[in-house]
Amino acid sequence: MAKKGESEFVGAMSPQREWIRENMAKKTSPKTLEIQSAKQVQSKAFVVWDSSQGEYRNGENRKEYKRLRLAEKKSNALQKRLDKRLPF
């Protein structure tokens, strides 16, 4: 059974057909290969923590930090609602 895009042949292919198939095959130009190799990174990335962004949060205290952050957001939202309330 032939793959998608190919047909089954009975007997040998004609020389003209072989030449056509050979020349119709997709080829990557040397210039394209040069551009691709120039874009590839030769070094590996590594993480540097910038202490100006605050404390580094790792998995150990993640739950606690999340709980504190949620509590802070709730209190901020409540304070905002109270500030918007009309004075009586």
Q: What is the pLDDT along the chain (88 residues), one digit of tens a residue?
A: 556 666 666 677 788 888 888 888 777 888 988 888 888 777 776 767 666 656 665 666 778 888 999 999 999 999 998 888 877 6
- Residue 51's pLDDT is 63
Whether pTM > 0.85 for this model: the answer is no
- Residue 72's pLDDT is 95
- Residue 73's pLDDT is 95
Say how far apart CA 23 and CA 6 lie, in whole Å: 16
Say how far apart CA 33 and CA 28 lie, in whole Å: 7
